[in-house]
Amino acid sequence: MRRNKQKEREHLFDRPQNVKKFLRLLYAICAALVLADLVYLRHVTHTWETLFGFYAVYGFVACAILVLAAKEMRKILMRREDYYDLDD
């Protein structure tokens, strides 16, 4: 089961440049999606939606808040793995 370094072939994300390529692709898609807002005619129903890049900003901010808030929650909520086992 353990890794055999000599024998094993190299995998996709073993090379740092592949990870970089992957990230660049992500950045490019994000940029294209925001720019797309300028190109096509949008059929929106709500005023918030008309703001430029509303969904993009909302998605980014929502996730950042989610993760950072969850990280803070750990300070209050996190206990040892066997926390309940002592009582059960």
Partner 1 sequence: MIWTTELQPFVPFYVGALLIVLTRGYVRLAVLLLVPVLGGLQLLGVEPGTYWELRFLDYTLTPYRVDRLSLLFGYLFHIAAFLGVLFSLHVRDARQHVAALLYAGSALGAVFAGDLITLFVFWELLAITSVFLIWARGTERAWRAGMRYLVIQVLSGVLLLSGVLIRYHDTGDLGFEYLGLDGLAAWLIFIAFGIKCAFPLLHNWLTDAYPEATPTGAVFLSSFTTKLAVYALARAFPGTELLIYIGAVMTCFPIFYAVIENDLRRVLAYSMINQIGFMVTGIGIGTALAINGAVAHAFNEVIFKGLLFMSMGAVLHMTGRINGSDLGGLYKTMPITTGLCIVGACSISAFPLFSGFVSKSLIMVAALEQGYDWVWLALLFASAGVFHHAGIKIPFFAFFAHDAGIRVKEPPLNMLLAMAIAAVLCVFIGSYPWLLYDLLPFVVTKSPYDATHVIAQLQLLFFSALAFAWLKLSGLYPPELRSVNLDAEWMYRWLGPRAVRAFVGVVGPIDTGLRQAVRRRLRAVADVLWRYHGPHGVLARTWPTGSMVLWVAVLLGMYLVLYYL
| Cα Rg of the chain (Å, integer) | 22
In angstroms, what is the minimal distance from the CB of 2 to partner 1? 6
Among 15, 18, 51, 67, binds partner 1 (CB under 8 A): 67
The two tokens of residue 7 are 């024998």
Alpha-carbon span 23 to 16, nearest angstrom? 11
Residue pair 34/55 in contact by the 8 Å Cβ criterion: no
35 touches partner 1 by CB under 8 A: no
Q: Please report whether residue 75 would count as binding partner 1 according to CB under 8 A.
A: no
Among 18, 21, 23, 51, binds partner 1 (CB under 8 A): 23
**In this structure, what are the phi and psi dihedrals at residue 16, rounded to the nearest 5 degrees?**
-60, -35
Binding site for partner 1 (CB under 8 A): 1-3, 11-13, 23, 26-27, 29-30, 33-34, 36-37, 40, 42-46, 48-49, 53, 55-64, 66-71, 73-74, 76-85, 87-88
